[in-house]
């Protein structure tokens, strides 16, 4: 793992626009969709973090409050070039740390089945059946933060 710098990203800034591009690349374009056609105003309430190497955005991880006790992890992406080097795990541990600090008792996520193994390694357990989201199989998972 090289030197990744984590930065908080504010809604509506140029850095935020870059996260839209990254999310589009990994979450929508493969399905022929464009995230910019969606209502993204809810992002204003999301806590967004970017991973940078050599000043270039190469990863994202977000969380948002679901209820007073629960936070939802969102938008875990590591650019292809950097996958398989531990960054995904590092970002999950980072965001869980923040969620814990804020006093939430549980982290939940809507994960791709293709990434289920990663989340299970980190202690998440399935809480739903598998369902299609934008044609991709997903499931809900959660982890108690003790």
List interacting residues with ligand COA (CB under 6 A). Answer: 26, 76-78, 83-89, 111-112, 114-115, 117-118, 121
Q: Can you name the residues that pair with 110 across neighbouring β-strands? A: 140
Considering only CA atoms, give the Rg of the chain.
Answer: 15
Query: C-beta of 41: minimal distance to ligand COA in Å?
Result: 22
Query: C-beta of 135: minimal distance to ligand COA in Å?
Result: 14
- CA 32 – CA 94 distance, rounded (Å): 31
Query: C-beta of 112: minimal distance to ligand COA in Å?
Result: 4
Query: C-beta of 120: minimal distance to ligand COA in Å?
Result: 8
Q: Counting beta carbons within 10 angstroms of the beta carbon of residue 110, is it exposed (0 to 12), middle (13 to 18) or buried (19 or more)?
A: middle
50 or 111: whose CB is closer to ligand COA?
111
104 or 141: whose CB is closer to ligand COA?
141
7 or 12: whose CB is closer to ligand COA?
7
Interstrand relation of 70-78 and 106-112 (parallel, antiparallel or unpaired): parallel
42 or 86: whose CB is closer to ligand COA?
86
Q: Which helix (H) or strand (E) holds 91?
A: helix 87-101
Q: Where are the beta strands (DSSP E) in 79-134?
A: 106-112, 125-126, 131-133
Residue showing tokens 């973090």: 49
């Amino acid at each position: 793992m090289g030197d990744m710098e984590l930065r908080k990203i504010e809604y509506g800034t140029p850095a935020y626009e870059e996260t839209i591009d990254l999310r589009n690349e990994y979450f929508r374009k493969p399905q022929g969709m464009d995230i910019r056609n969606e209502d993204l105003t809810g992002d204003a309430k999301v806590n967004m973090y970017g991973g940078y190497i050599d000043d270039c955005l190469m990863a994202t991880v977000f969380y948002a409050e679901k209820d007073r006790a629960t936070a939802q992890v969102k938008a875990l992406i590591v650019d292809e070039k950097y996958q398989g080097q531990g960054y995904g795990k590092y970002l999950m541990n980072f965001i869980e740390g923040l969620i814990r600090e804020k006093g939430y008792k549980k982290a939940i996520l809507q994960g791709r089945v293709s990434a289920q193994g990663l989340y299970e390694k980190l202690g998440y357990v399935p809480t739903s059946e598998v369902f299609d989201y934008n044609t991709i199989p997903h499931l809900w998972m959660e982890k108690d933060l003790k």
